[in-house]
Amino acid sequence: MRLLMAAVLLLAPTLAQAWPWSMDMANQISIKPQESADTQNPGMRPFPKRSVPIPGTTSLVKDREVAEKQSNPVPADEKSIALGGKLFQIYCTPCHGYSGKGDGLVGAKLALTPYNLTADQTKARSDGFIWGYMTFGGAVMPSYANDLSDTERWNVINYVRKVLQNEHSATAVTPQAK
């Protein structure tokens, strides 16, 4: 009985990860995320007073239906299209591919093939619909409301419209573009 008690006592700290060496890897001198190397300047800006964490997305637009009714407030000028292209390259090409046709490397692994954004179906969609899709996500497609600001999402739409859905355009972003 005593032996058993001793064994239990010995094992307890192991289960609780309380051995000093079980934390050695975490407690290094390396700088942790959101920590600053400069003791005078703490790394992370403190959250504003009364801020609370929220689940889901941060859009002020209620749902897809409301989103669809909006019209695109960002003119599709050169600047907007260039910015939209950059963002499309970062956030959309893994699934929809550089061509927008749904041939991205990640997309190939999904149960539902990402839609071809240059097909008639998406061409016929309103800008507000596409904006809502990026905001709330789809069945498989995730929401991009936390990654792309409201305006950035309109820029992406301008890129999709003017470059990807326009077969005569030669300004598409490519894997080589920096």
Contact positions toward ligand HEC, by CB under 6 A? 91-92, 94-96, 106-107, 110, 112, 114-115, 117, 121-122, 125, 130, 133-134, 138-142, 144, 156
Contacts of 40 (CB under 8 A, 6+ apart): none
CB of 131 to ligand HEC, least distance (A): 9
CB of 161 to ligand HEC, least distance (A): 11
C-alpha 101/C-alpha 88 separation (Å) is 13
Query: Measured between alpha carbons, how far is residue 35 from residues 29, 32, 40, 41, 44 in Å?
Result: 11, 5, 12, 10, 7
Smaller CB separation from ligand HEC, 26 or 149 = 149
CB-closest chain residue to ligand HEC: 138
- Shortest Å, Cβ 167 to ligand HEC: 17
Pair of tokens at residue 11: 């094992």
Query: What is the dihedral angle through the alpha carbons of 79, 85, 90, 92, rounded to the nearest 10 degrees?
Result: 140
Nearer to ligand HEC, 12 or 152 (CB): 152
